C-alpha cells in the first residue's frame, strides 16, 4: 500500500522550486537554513519595498527516516522584532494512512490548540482518499466535514513522495 511521505528531499525540492520561480514582480525572497544535509527552516521575506522585510519562518522537524513530522510556521512581529508562533502541522505516518494535524497558536494558553485534521489513505495505486475534520471545542473531538478522492494526476501536487 502506498503512503504519502513528506521527506527532506521533498522540502528541498519545494525550496528550489520556489526560489527558482520567475515572478515578474519578485515580491518574495526565500532563505533556506540547512542542518545535517536537510532543510531545517525556510524564511520568507517581502521584497516589495526598499529593503527585505521578514514575513514567515517555517521550521521542519524530521524523524529517523528523514520524513517531516512537524512543520512550524512563525510570523515576524516587526514591533517586537521577534518571531511569534502562528501554527504547526504534525504528520503521523501509519501503515494505512498519513495523518496531518493542524494546530493554531493560542496566546492565552501559550500553546498550540487543535484546529483541523486531514487523513490521506491510499485507495489504490491511482487514487488517494482524503478525509477532512474540524475540531469541535464543545465535544472535544474531531468532526468529519469533507472527504474527497485525489486521482493520480493530482497526487504530485501534494509535494510528497509516494512510498
Q: What is the CATH number of the domain that holds 60?
A: 2.40.128.720
- CA gap 3, 13 in Å, rounded: 19
Whether 161 shows a pLDDT value over 50: the answer reads no
- Assign 17 a pLDDT band (cuts: 50, 70, 90): low
State the pLDDT at residue 21: 52
Q: Is the pTM of this model over 0.85?
A: no
User: Are 68 and 6 a contacting pair, CB within 8 Å?
Assistant: yes
Mean pLDDT of the chain: 83
Tally of domains in the chain: 1
Q: What is the pLDDT of residues 96-114, one digit of tens each?
A: 889 999 999 999 999 999 9
Percent of the chain scoring above 90 in pLDDT: 60
CB 42 within 8 A of CB 55: no
Amino acid at each position: 500500500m502506498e503512503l504519502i511521505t513528506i521527506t527532506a528531499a521533498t522540502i528541498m525540492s519545494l525550496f528550489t522550486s520556489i526560489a527558482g520561480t520567475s515572478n515578474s514582480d519578485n515580491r518574495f525572497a526565500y532563505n533556506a537554513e540547512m542542518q545535517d544535509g536537510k532543510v531545517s527552516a525556510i524564511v520568507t521575506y517581502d521584497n516589495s519595498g526598499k529593503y527585505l522585510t521578514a514575513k514567515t519562518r517555517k521550521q521542519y522537524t524530521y524523524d529517523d527516516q528523514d520524513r517531516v513530522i512537524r512543520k512550524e510556521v512563525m510570523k515576524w512581529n516587526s514591533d517586537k522584532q521577534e518571531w511569534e508562533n502562528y501554527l504547526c502541522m504534525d504528520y503521523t505516518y501509519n501503515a494505512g494512512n498519513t495523518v496531518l494535524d493542524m494546530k493554531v497558536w493560542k496566546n492565552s494558553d501559550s500553546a498550540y490548540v487543535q484546529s483541523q485534521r486531514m487523513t490521506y489513505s491510499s485507495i489504490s495505486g491511482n487514487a488517494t482518499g482524503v478525509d477532512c475534520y474540524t475540531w469541535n471545542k464543545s465535544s472535544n473531538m474531531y468532526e468529519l466535514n469533507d472527504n474527497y478522492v485525489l486521482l493520480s494526476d493530482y497526487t504530485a501536487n501534494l509535494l510528497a513522495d509516494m512510498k
